[in-house]
């Protein structure tokens, strides 16, 4: 990922063209670090996404859908107060830095024209989105508050004067001529790409290496020519945005000769950024939100596996139960040979075909009768424990399968699915329910499975957790619709909303079932399908567990591209 000053310049130029004079209709804050603006221009709505995420800070138009909280944050309410109904006057980049100013023309309380500036600083973990009164340079609000104790150079707090990030002493490459560019480099010191990065603002290592690679081992004239060519491309906005699909996906807005991976080009910078970042930030949020759950579930799995080892040892001991019964019966038959105080007795083993002699150990403090009773008691105890251990082993294996399924669901979960998983674990007694000190009753919401559409337009629903699985199978689906699930593999319930789906639709639904299962990275995954009427939940079974009959089986190899393809049709 290279969101440097050049990419910032490219997206700024594009947004200025697409959004300037547009009117702000709606403002949402889907997450702690993201804003979503609906902007109308020339009868068309655009969705502008601005993110101050520590790893995925960015700004671009988006076609993705985002879940908005039921109650807006204080920051979102402040933005609505000042910017709803305003017009975008301009979008500009500061120098060649990763800083964008969006100027909104609005009116103050007296009805006079007022300009508010949304300052977007795209600087990794220091990224921020700051609303400023342009005339007074006063911060009205920011998505992240930074006190003077955290940053001695400047504080980002409401009421403070806005101060730009500290100057790093770098030169703007777009206002530098060829000769100055060369003079700033020390060819004898080597590592020219690092020198370029350290000397010129907004140039990332990727572009610096491109300059050095194109100039090759030529003289200073070759560097001048290369720098001039790339500089003019940037000044004249001759961009060619692409995503490089190598071992690690990356993107840029200028063609790079050093890239030899599979490359996909795009018509706009926004489209490229939207495709590249789609799902990445959400997966990161899900990972953070579910981190404690994964640690808990992993620990529970380890406990269950240790428990199985102990149960196996107990079961091994229980195999000796018959020996104690045999010794008890032999001792009873030879009671006349034993007296109190004996430590052992040698008897004829009637159960042995050869009538061999057998030595039985005794407790010298017990009578012969008490010793026999002790052997029979040991026999009954081991026999009973064997039955209990086998039953406990069965429950433990079921527990492991259940936890495996939950872990798999977290792996493919959306952000809103995590809370449903957490609620399920609380209901099943794995987690303690949080005590919420409020009289306000929590609104009960129905689980919402994810919707996909087959190539012929048929709706396919996928449960992303057990609550969704149960609601989908037992409440939403009709009896004659098709139900799918990976055979003997933890995964999602999938329902085709059709009684007679085409063969292609059936295969695409099987693809979804395989992709949302533990075997999503395997090949030839078996997927069972049957009518909903043949799917039953046993009494007392854990959430999401069902039995089914009259099934047929398909074999598919999971392909992640199907998810995007079928989702895009929705």
Domains detected in the chain = 5-142 (2.30.310.10), 173-235 (1.10.8.50), 292-410 (1.10.287), 450-568 (no CATH)
Instruction: State residue 440's pLDDT score.
Output: 54
Residue 383: its pLDDT value, please?
80
Strand-strand pairing, 494-496 and 242-245:
unpaired
| Total residue length of the chain | 570
- Per-residue tokens: 127: 């990224």
Q: Count the Cβ atoms, other than its own, within 10 Å of residue 193.
A: 18
Cβ contact 225:216 at 8 Å:
no
CA distances in angstroms from 286 to 96, 418, 421, 447, listed in the order given: 34, 7, 12, 18
What gap in Å lies between CA 1 and CA 254, rounded to an integer? 14
- Please give the radius of gyration of the chain, using alpha carbons only, rounded to the nearest integer: 35
Cα 85 off chain centre by: 35
Of the candidates 162, 86, 106, the one whose C-alpha atom is nearest the C-alpha of residue 131 is 162
Q: Which residue has the tokens 């300009």?
A: 115
CA dist 464 and 471 (Å) reads 11
Q: What three-state secondary structure class fits 548?
A: strand
Closest residue by Cα to residue 554 from 496, 485, 499: 485
pTM score: 0.66
What's the CA angle centered on 270, arms 256 and 276, to 5 degrees? 65
Q: Check residue 187 and give its pLDDT.
A: 85
The CA distances from residue 91 to 43, 120, 267, 300, 513, in Å, are 20, 11, 20, 52, 45
**pLDDT score at 569:** 56
| 298-to-229, 383, 420, 469 alpha-carbon distances in Å | 55, 33, 19, 22
- Would you state the pLDDT for residue 325? 83
Q: Splitting the chain (570 residues) into consecutive groups of 10 residues, what average pLDDT does each group show?
A: 90 96 95 94 95 93 86 94 95 95 90 93 94 94 92 91 91 92 86 92 92 82 90 95 84 80 89 88 76 89 92 81 82 87 86 81 89 87 82 90 88 81 88 65 74 93 93 94 94 94 94 92 93 93 91 91 66
Cα 526-557-401 angle, rounded to 5 deg: 45
Q: What angle do CA 285, 73, 31 make, to 5 degrees?
A: 15
């Amino acid at each position: 990922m290279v969101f440097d000053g050049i990419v910032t310049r490219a997206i700024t130029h594009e947004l200025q063209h697409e959004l300037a004079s547009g009117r702000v209709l709606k403002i949402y804050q889907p997450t702690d670090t993201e804003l979503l603006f609906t902007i109308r221009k020339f009868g068309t709505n655009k969705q502008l996404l601005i993110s101050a995420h520590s790893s995925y800070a960015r700004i671009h138009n988006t076609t993705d859908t985002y879940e908005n909280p039921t109650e807006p944050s204080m920051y979102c309410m402040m933005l609505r107060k000042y910017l709803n109904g305003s017009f975008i006057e301009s979008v500009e980049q500061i120098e060649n830095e990763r800083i964008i100013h969006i100027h909104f023309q609005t009116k103050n309380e007296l009805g006079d024209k007022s300009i508010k500036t949304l300052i977007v600083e795209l600087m990794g973990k220091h990224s921020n989105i700051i609303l400023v009164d342009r005339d007074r340079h006063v911060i009205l609000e920011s998505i992240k508050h930074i006190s003077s104790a955290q940053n001695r150079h400047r504080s980002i707090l409401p009421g403070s004067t806005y101060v730009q990030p500290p100057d790093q002493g770098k030169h703007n490459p777009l206002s530098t001529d060829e000769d100055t560019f060369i003079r700033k480099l020390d060819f004898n010191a080597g590592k020219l790409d690092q020198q370029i990065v350290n000397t010129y603002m907004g140039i990332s290592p990727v572009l610096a290496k491109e300059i050095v690679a194109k100039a090759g081992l030529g003289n200073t004239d070759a560097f001048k020519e290369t720098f001039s060519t790339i500089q003019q491309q940037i000044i004249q906005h001759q961009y060619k945005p692409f995503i490089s699909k190598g071992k690690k996906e990356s993107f840029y807005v200028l063609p790079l000769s050093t890239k030899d991976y599979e490359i996909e080009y795009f018509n706009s910078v926004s489209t490229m950024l939207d495709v590249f970042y789609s799902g990445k930030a959400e997966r990161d949020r899900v990972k953070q939100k579910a981190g404690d759950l994964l640690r808990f579930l992993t620990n529970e799995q380890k406990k269950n596996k240790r428990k199985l080892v102990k149960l196996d040892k107990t079961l091994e001991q229980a195999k000796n139960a018959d020996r104690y019964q045999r010794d008890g019966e032999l001792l009873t038959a030879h009671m006349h040979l034993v007296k109190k105080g004996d430590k052992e007795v040698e008897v004829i083993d009637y159960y042995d075909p050869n009538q061999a002699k057998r030595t039985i150990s005794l407790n010298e403090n017990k009578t012969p009768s008490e010793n026999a009773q002790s052997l029979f008691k040991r026999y009954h105890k081991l026999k009973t424990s064997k039955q209990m251990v086998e039953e406990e082993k069965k429950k433990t294996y079921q527990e492991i399968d259940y936890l495996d399924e939950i872990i798999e669901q977290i792996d493919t979960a959306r952000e809103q699915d995590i809370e449903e998983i957490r609620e399920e674990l609380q209901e099943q007694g794995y987690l303690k329910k949080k005590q919420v000190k409020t009289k306000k009753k929590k609104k009960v919401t129905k689980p919402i499975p994810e919707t996909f559409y087959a190539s012929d337009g048929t709706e396919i629903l996928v449960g992303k957790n057990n609550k969704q699985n149960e609601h989908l199978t037992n409440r939403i689906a009709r009896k004659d619709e098709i139900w799918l699930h990976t055979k003997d593999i933890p995964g999602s319930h999938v329902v085709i909303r059709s009684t007679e789906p085409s063969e292609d639709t059936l295969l695409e639904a099987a693809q979804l079932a395989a992709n949302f299962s533990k075997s999503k990275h395997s090949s030839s995954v078996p997927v069972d399908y049957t009518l909903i009427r043949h799917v039953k939940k046993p009494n007392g079974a854990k959430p999401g567990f069902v039995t089914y009959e009259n099934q047929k089986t398909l074999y598919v190899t999971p392909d992640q591209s199907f998810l995007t393809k079928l989702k895009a049709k929705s």
